[in-house]
């Protein structure tokens, strides 16, 4: 016996109410509750007497993953595999994992996943790394926003041409139950859903993209992924605030949440793992957008230092850690006299609070007159840095721009600056120093060489008398 009922669901956080209210009690936003029709079936089904407990209980000794480490499924894109996690020679997807990839419109989500699909098919046909997909291994691509002909146009731009085209199966239905039925019949090794906001189920009356539809479709796809041990990629839209569209519970259901970001006017793209049950969440993959698709950047430090110029005031080189990878990047600063009652502090890729704190430290402990100057800072290359190890380099760049004197030596600055003006040590310092020397930097300024930021500025001649 089925019963139709209506429920009001917040389109921002998923909080529900049996009646309409103006303010959501979950996220405190106004006018976000929308009425949705749901159909609930009361079966009253109970466990039959002949069903044994052993049918749904498994001892640890019988779990295959416990007895032996199963190789992960590689995408054959090194930067992508790095973000997915795993050991150095066993990175990639875990069987049955559900991975949600989000990003702004036009950032390249569909392009990246299409390249992953083609790369896996091409390398498998060439017998690379143990023939990952196996003989006649198929990949299912659910076309929710495009038709197969439009996806084919994107595939034609890619470099890879030597692969079995019959093993790429397009599914054109947006009904999640039909998709699950097709997946069971095709038995693919990987499934791509583009996108989860287009999927619907007839069991719910809400429109595609509503909170109820997104949540229910994700739960059903997760169930089939675990049952068949097939990895599933979900493409997710983002809201105007930059968060993944749909209820927050969507991110709790999936195993991994990947975010593709970057300046749409540039060619640099950063893939981050916001959540990852099978790997680290601080790893990043660096790509460059080309005419044919994405190109992995194996040495990002050289990319970020491409335009670094020794002898220009306001420029300093720092070394930060992204996961297990040390990156050398250029910090730029512009300090000019202010005509405002409250001087401006502007940062691109750097938190505003960090700029304000360092400006106060330099003014207090180094007697730099920054209270009457505007400070503009930027991380070259469009990279976002939140690690405190950039403090010392940022302080040197600000002082260099203020006194209009360049740092003539090729040096790297590594260290956190405290409120008392002292230089504090950072983690993995030896690995950072090794990377800096590999790229030709012999002068390393850190806690090991100097105790305070004032001593550093004095040595580089940046404590000019005002």
Residues 344 and 275 in one domain: no
- Other CB atoms within 10 A of residue 95 CB: 17
Domain that holds residue 289: 72-298
Question: Per the domain annotation, does 54 fall within a domain?
Answer: no
Among the three residues 298, 330, 345, which one is the final residue of a domain in this structure?
298
Q: Above 60 in pLDDT, residue 1? A: no
- How many Å apart are CA 336 and CA 318, to the nearest integer? 23
Contact 144, 174 (CB under 8 A): yes
Which residues neighbour 101 within 8 Å (Cβ) at sequence distance 6 or greater?
A: 109, 112, 113, 233, 234, 235, 236, 258, 259, 260
Q: What is the pLDDT of residues 251-261, one digit of tens each?
A: 889 999 999 98
Question: Per the domain annotation, does 62 fall within a domain?
Answer: no
pLDDT at 2: 47
Query: Among 13-22, 103-112, 143-152, which stretch is predicted with the lowest mean pLDDT?
Result: 13-22
Question: Per the domain annotation, does 415 fall within a domain?
Answer: yes
pLDDT at 130: 47
Among the three residues 243, 277, 298, which one is the final residue of a domain in this structure?
298
pLDDT at 31: 81
Q: What CATH number is attached to the domain comprising 183?
A: 3.40.50.300
Residues 308 and 289 in one domain: no
Domain count, the chain: 3
Question: Per the domain annotation, does 60 fall within a domain?
Answer: no
Residues 83 and 146 in one domain: yes
- How many Å apart are CA 248 and CA 242, to the nearest integer? 13
Which of 318, 297, 286, 324 is closest to 431 using CA atoms? 324
Residues 125 and 152 in one domain: yes
Residues 312 and 279 in one domain: no
Residues 292 and 314 in one domain: no
pLDDT at 11: 75
Residues 175 and 256 in one domain: yes
Residues 293 and 183 in one domain: yes
Residues 354 and 402 in one domain: yes
pLDDT at 65: 66
Tokens linked to 455: 């001593």
Which of 302, 297, 299, 240 is closest to 268 using CA atoms? 297
pLDDT at 91: 87
Among the three residues 246, 271, 298, which one is the final residue of a domain in this structure?
298
Strand partners, 107: none
pLDDT at 193: 95
- How many Å apart are CA 289 and CA 271, to the nearest integer? 12
Count of helices and strands (H, E) across the chain: 12, 22
Q: What is the pLDDT of residues 385-433, one digit of tens each?
A: 888 999 999 999 999 999 999 987 889 999 999 999 999 999 989 999 9
């Amino acid at each position: 016996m089925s019963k139709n009922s209506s429920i009001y669901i917040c389109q921002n956080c998923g909080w529900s109410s049996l009646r309409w209210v103006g303010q959501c009690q979950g996220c405190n936003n106004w006018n976000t509750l929308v009425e949705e029709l749901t159909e609930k079936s009361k079966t009253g089904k109970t466990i039959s007497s002949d069903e044994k407990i052993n049918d749904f209980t498994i001892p640890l000794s019988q779990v295959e993953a416990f007895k032996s480490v199963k190789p992960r499924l590689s995408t054959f894109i090194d930067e992508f595999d790095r973000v997915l996690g795993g050991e150095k020679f066993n990175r990639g997807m875990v069987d049955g994992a559900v991975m949600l990839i989000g990003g702004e419109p036009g950032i390249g989500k569909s392009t990246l996943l299409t390249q992953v699909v083609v790369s896996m098919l091409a390398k498998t046909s060439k017998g690379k790394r143990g023939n990952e997909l196996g003989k006649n291994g198929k990949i299912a691509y659910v076309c929710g926003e495009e038709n197969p002909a439009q996806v084919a146009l994107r595939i034609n731009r890619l470099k890879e041409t030597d692969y079995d085209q019959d093993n790429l199966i397009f599914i054109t239905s947006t009904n999640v139950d039909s998709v699950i039925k097709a997946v069971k019949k095709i038995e693919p090794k990987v499934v791509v859903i583009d996108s989860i906001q287009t999927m619907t189920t007839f069991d719910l009356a809400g429109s595609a993209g509503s909170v109820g539809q997104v949540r229910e479709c994700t739960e059903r796809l997760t169930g089939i992924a675990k049952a068949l041990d097939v990895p599933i990629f979900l493409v997710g839209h983002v809201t105007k605030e930059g968060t993944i569209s749909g209820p927050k519970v969507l991110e709790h259901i999936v195993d991994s949440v990947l975010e593709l970001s970057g300046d749409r006017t540039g060619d640099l793209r950063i893939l981050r793992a916001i959540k990852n049950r099978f790997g680290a969440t601080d790893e990043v993959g660096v790509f460059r957008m080309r005419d044919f698709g994405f190109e992995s950047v194996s040495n990002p430090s050289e990319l970020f230092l491409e335009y670094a110029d020794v002898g220009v005031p306001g420029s300093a080189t720092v070394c930060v850690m992204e996961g297990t990878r040390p990156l050398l990047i250029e910090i730029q600063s512009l300090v000019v006299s202010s005509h405002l009652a409250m001087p401006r502090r502007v940062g691109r890729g750097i938190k505003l609070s960090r700029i304000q704190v360092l400006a106060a430290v330099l003014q207090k402990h180094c007697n730099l007159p920054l209270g009457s100057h505007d400070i503009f800072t930027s991380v070259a290359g469009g990279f976002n840095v939140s690690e405190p190890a950039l403090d010392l380099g940022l302080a040197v760049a600000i002082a260099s721009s203020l006194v209009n004197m360049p740092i003539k030596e090729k040096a790297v600055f590594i260290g956190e600056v405290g409120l008392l003006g002292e230089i504090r040590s950072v983690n993995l310092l030896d690995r950072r120093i090794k990377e800096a020397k590999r790229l030709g930097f012999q002068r390393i300024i850190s806690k090991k060489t100097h105790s305070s930021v004032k001593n550093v500025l004095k040595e580089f001649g940046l404590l000019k008398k005002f």
